[in-house]
């Protein structure tokens, strides 16, 4: 039988070794526990105590030793802003106002996931040549300035509010309104930018990106997807920003269906830390697919024009290609989309509220009927859509579309 002094010595040595382990090794150790245990993977990978739920190595050790009495798993609710915007190859100006689009004048969210299409023109040079990131840097700068502007505007008020309680059920420190960029990645014309509250950043782990080209010859990146995944506490999230095949010819919707199947099957995330992390899109707990999906209205041009002029949106939606493909199970079977109550988001005359009914191209004038090209769909338990709407930003031939979600995740309660 082991003597009491030996047990004490063993405990002391084990504790010392644990505290000297690199945080990455601690994360791997803790990730071997199921989510029903009392320590989150992220809790093991952080070195600081900031009063918002982050855990030190010592706290992790105490949670492991004390189990139920120390580290309970609880539910935390967050608000998430997801938006898609085809900007038509137009570079942003220095004074472009993004506050209405990002809803920063009225609200603030915990996570922003922003997807763009055509941040550069989809020319042969841009598709085949080296990637130019000056435009993506400009968009990132404007987004950061807009999200953090509210911090400076409300700073004096926030100093008088030590703790803020929100209707969505969770507390938030009133001075924790600064936002940090977690991911900003470009693939030709597609750009995805993910921002989170500064105090939430330590709870985000394992961010990865995966790019899939579905364009010319089925592989060039003029069309395709840019997917981002990360873990928030114990839940895995995946956001798939798409720009699918265009065209108004009969059966063009089948090309778009094929793009979706390619994206779902070919997207794969690498992981250097754990084999238990999801690698495929559908392996994640919560998934949002959004972008310029390019599905049109299957209706004769003249009839479409009349119904648009009469604002008969419900009649037009009955002929919406994406709705039909979803109902027939030919694309994204089982996915969810909110009720569409807004007018078609494409195609507008620049800086105008007028639809562009004709387009002058190299082969003469082409007809362009309005359509709901820009969409947001989701899959998985734990996501609740609160708003689904378009934004009135007259910058390109598309109107941006945004969705507000709430999501509940399991987290270590210290």
Ordered domains of the chain (ranges, CATH): 4-70 (no CATH), 76-413 (3.60.10.10)
For the chain, the distance separating the N- and C-terminal CA atoms, rounded to the nearest angstrom, is 36
- Could you tell me the two tokens for 43? 């809790």
Q: Which residues contact 295 (CB under 8 A, 6 or more apart)?
A: 244, 253, 256, 320, 321, 322, 325, 371, 372, 373, 375
Q: If you ran DSSP here, which 8-state letter would residue 132 be given? A: P
Task: Label residues 358-381 b or e (16+ Cβ within 10 Å = b).
Answer: eeeeeeeeeebbbbbbbbbbbbbe
What is the torsional sign of CA 401, 404, 409, 413?
positive
Helices 57-66 and 23-31: angle between axes, nearest 10 degrees: 20
Tens digits of pLDDT across the chain (414 residues): 545 455 444 445 455 554 555 444 454 444 444 333 333 333 333 333 333 444 444 555 555 555 444 567 889 999 999 999 999 999 999 999 999 999 999 898 999 999 999 999 999 999 999 998 999 999 999 999 999 986 666 554 555 554 444 544 444 444 448 999 999 999 999 999 999 999 999 999 999 999 999 998 888 999 999 999 999 999 999 999 999 999 999 889 999 999 999 999 999 998 776 678 999 999 999 999 999 999 999 999 999 999 999 999 999 999 999 999 999 999 999 999 999 999 999 999 988 999 999 877 656 567 889 999 999 999 999 999 999 999 999 999 999 999 999 999 998 876
């Amino acid at each position: 039988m082991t003597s009491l002094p030996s047990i004490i010595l063993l405990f002391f040595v084990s504790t010392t070794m644990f505290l000297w382990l690199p945080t990455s090794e601690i994360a791997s150790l803790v990730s071997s526990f199921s989510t029903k245990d009392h320590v989150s993977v992220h809790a093991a990978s952080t070195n600081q105590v900031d009063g918002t739920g982050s855990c030190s190595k010592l706290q992790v050790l105490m949670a492991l030793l004390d189990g139920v009495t120390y580290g309970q798993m609880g539910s935390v609710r967050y608000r998430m802003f997801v938006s898609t915007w085809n900007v038509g190859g137009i570079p942003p100006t220095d004074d472009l106002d993004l506050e209405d689009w990002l809803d920063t004048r009225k609200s603030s969210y915990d996570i922003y996931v922003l997807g763009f299409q055509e941040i550069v023109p989809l020319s042969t040079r841009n598709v085949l040549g080296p990637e130019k990131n000056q435009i993506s840097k400009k968009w990132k700068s404007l987004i950061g300035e807009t999200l953090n502007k509210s911090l400076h505007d409300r700073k004096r008020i926030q100093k008088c509010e030590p703790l803020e309680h929100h209707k969505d059920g969770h507390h938030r420190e009133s001075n924790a309104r600064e936002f940090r960029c977690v991911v900003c990645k470009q693939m030709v014309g597609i750009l995805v930018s993910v921002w989170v509250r500064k105090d939430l950043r330590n709870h985000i782990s394992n961010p990865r990106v995966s790019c899939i080209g579905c364009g010319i010859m089925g592989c060039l990146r003029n069309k395709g997807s840019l997917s981002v995944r990360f873990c928030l506490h114990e839940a895995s999230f995946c956001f798939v920003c798409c720009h699918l095949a265009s065209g108004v010819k009969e059966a063009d919707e089948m090309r778009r269906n094929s793009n979706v199947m390619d994206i779902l099957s070919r997207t794969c995330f690498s992981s250097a830390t754990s084999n238990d992390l999801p690698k495929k899109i559908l392996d994640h707990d919560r998934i949002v697919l959004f972008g310029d999906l390019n599905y049109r209205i299957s209706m004769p041009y003249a009839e479409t024009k009349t119904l648009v002029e009469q604002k008969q949106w419900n009649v037009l939606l009955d002929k919406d290609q994406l709705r039909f493909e979803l109902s027939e199970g030919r694309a994204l079977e089982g996915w969810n989309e909110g009720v569409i109550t807004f007018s078609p988001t494409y195609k507008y005359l620049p800086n105008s509220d007028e639809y562009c009914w004709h387009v002058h191209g190299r082969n003469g004038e082409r007809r362009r009927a309005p359509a709901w090209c820009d969409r947001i769909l989701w899959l998985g338990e734990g996501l609740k859509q609160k708003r689904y709407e378009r934004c009135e930003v007259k910058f390109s031939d598309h109107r941006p579309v945004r969705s507000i979600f709430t999501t509940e995740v399991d987290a270590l309660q210290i």
